[in-house]
Amino acid sequence: MTTTSSDRTLPGSGVPPATGPAALLPPGERPLPPGPVAASLAHGWRAVLRIRHIPEQLIDATAFPIMMTLMYTYLFGGAISGSAERYIQYVLPGMMAMSVLLTSAGTGTALNADIERGVFDRFRTLPVWRPAALVGMILGDLVRYAMASAAILAVGLVLGFRPEGGVPGVLAGVALLVAFAFAFSWIWTMFGLLLRSPASVTSVSMLLFPLTFLSNAFVDPATMPGWLRVVVEINPVTHLIAAIRGLMAGDWSSGETVWVLLSGALITAVFGTLTMWLYNRD
CA-to-CA dists, residue 179 to 148, 166, 240, 280, angstroms = 14, 20, 11, 25
CA-to-CA dists, residue 56 to 100, 145, 146, 148, 260, angstroms = 17, 15, 17, 14, 31
CA 144 to chain CA centroid, Å, is: 7
Give the type of residue at 133.
Answer: A
pLDDT for 57? 67
Query: Which one is predicted more confidently, 91 or 39?
Result: 91
pLDDT for 173? 93
**Average of pLDDT values for 168-194?**
92
Query: Which one is predicted more confidently, 29 or 177?
Result: 177
Distance CA 159, CA 166 (A): 16
Q: What's the pLDDT band for 119 if we cut at 50, 70, 90?
A: confident
Report the sign of the C-alpha dihedral through residues 189, 192, 194, 199, in that order: positive
Whether the CB-CB separation of 70 and 64 falls below 8 Å is answered with no
Task: Flag whether pLDDT at 3 surpasses 50.
Answer: no
Query: Which one is predicted more confidently, 117 or 164?
Result: 164
Whether the CB-CB separation of 177 and 97 falls below 8 Å is answered with yes
Q: How many CB atoms neighbour CB 237 within 10 A?
A: 22
Q: How many CB atoms neighbour CB 118 within 10 A?
A: 9
| Strand ranges in 2-48 using DSSP code E only, listed in sequence order | none
pLDDT for 61? 72
In sequence order, what are the residues at sequence separation of 6 or more whose Cβ sits closer than 8 angstroms to the Cβ of residue 265?
Answer: 183
Task: Flag whether pLDDT at 4 surpasses 50.
Answer: no
Distance CA 244, CA 241 (A): 5
Task: Flag whether pLDDT at 244 surpasses 70.
Answer: yes
DSSP annotation of 6? G
**Average pLDDT over all residues of the chain:** 83
Distance CA 27, CA 33 (A): 17
pLDDT for 28? 66
Task: Note if the pTM is more than 0.75.
Answer: yes
Distance CA 186, CA 268 (A): 6
CA 245 to chain CA centroid, Å, is: 21
pLDDT for 14? 52
DSSP annotation of 4? P
